Amino acid sequence: MASEQKWLGTFAALLIAAVAGCGTDIFDVDVDLATQSFALDFGQQSGTVPTASCDDTIVQEVCGSGQTVAVDTSSTTGVPSDVQVALGCDPGNGLCYMQASAHASQTVAVLQDDDLGSRIGRHALGFVQLADVAYTIPSNTLTFDIPQIDIYAGPAGSRLETDPGVALVGSTQPITAGTVVTDPLHVIIDKNTPARPVIEHAVENKQDFVFIVVANPRLGAGAPIPAGAVQIDVFPKLVVGLP
């Protein structure tokens, strides 16, 4: 009996040592997905939003005609951006305003991602939890402030935040004209984050998905007309459970 207990004790010690030697990543591991780089380019316009009084009947004469700016940034980031700018008359104060809308999207190739691909290659996936989305702003020549940039995730092929299956990941902090961010900031992710199941489902099923960044700044009378460009680098991290 004593020898059996001793054997069991030795076996248990060896088992604990083996598990400790393998590390806790036999149960879950951190996976850093490839950095996603986006650029929103508003062109090189100059001047300010007109300050003259207006109404709906003379909006074009006073505020100017609407315009669309489409700048292809694929030569620098590989990601084209779609930027639209329109002038209008604010019925609340009778003054001109400018509404900008900018979108950029990029596909996360799940099976081609080096870190994630190596994990998938060695193990079956039990569950995926979106742990963190960090971002930096390495380049910023904007002439105006952006209150926030919204980050979305959706199925492969999505281009807009209104496309089917696209959900919000979160929003950046306000972006000041000309200011860069080199120390990563973080978008808060929890179980109630709308895009969390979108990303988890895509990775668990080894399917590509898309990140979309969106900015919709509105500039009032006297504000600088939107110009310049901003680059946003997104660093998504997952926790992958390995059964």
pLDDT tens by residue, 179-226: 999 999 999 888 788 998 898 888 878 788 999 999 999 999 999 888
Tell me, yes or no, whether 197 lies in a domain: yes
Percent of the chain with pLDDT over 70: 70
| pLDDT value for 91 | 85
> What is the reported pLDDT for 190?
80
Give the confidence band of 7 by pLDDT, cuts at 50, 70, 90. very low
Please indicate, yes or no, if residue 12 is contained in any of the structural domains. no
Q: Is the pLDDT of residue 130 over 80?
A: no
Higher pLDDT, 148 or 81: 148
Q: By the 8 A CB rule, do 38 and 77 touch?
A: yes
Question: Which domain does 136 fall in, by range?
Answer: 25-47+104-216+225-241
98 assigned to some structural domain = no
Assess if residue 125 is contained within a domain.
yes
Ramachandran quadrant class, 116 (left: phi over 0; alpha: psi -120 to 50; beta: rest): alpha
pLDDT of residue 59: 67
State how far the Cα of 90 lies from the Cα of 55, in Å rounded to an integer: 8
Instruction: Indicate if the pLDDT at residue 106 is higher than 80.
Output: yes
β-strand pairing of 127-140 with 229-241: antiparallel
What pLDDT, on a 0 to 100 scale, did the predictor assign at position 89? 87
User: Out of 92-101, 115-124, 234-243, which region has the weakest mean confidence (pLDDT)?
Assistant: 115-124
Q: Distance between CA 58 and CA 119 in Å, rounded?
A: 61
Task: State the CATH number of the domain containing residue 34.
Answer: 2.60.120
Q: Is residue 61 part of a domain?
A: no
Cα 20 from Cα 25, distance rounded (Å): 10
Q: What is the pLDDT of residues 17-55, one digit of tens each?
A: 444 444 444 456 777 788 889 988 888 888 888 888 887
**Residue 179, amino acid:** T
Distance CA 1, CA 140 (A): 74
If pLDDT is split at 50, 70 and 90, which confidence band does 125 have?
Answer: low
Residue 72 lies in a domain: no
Domains: count for the chain: 1
pTM of this structure: 0.78
* pLDDT given for residue 34 in this prediction: 83
pLDDT tens per residue, range 72-100:
555 445 555 688 888 888 888 889 898 88
Model confidence at 230, pLDDT cuts 50, 70, 90, reads: very high
Is 37 a member of any domain? yes
Task: Copy the structure tokens of residue 175.
Answer: 């972006």
Percentage of the chain lying above the pLDDT 90 cut: 30
Q: Is residue 230 part of a domain?
A: yes
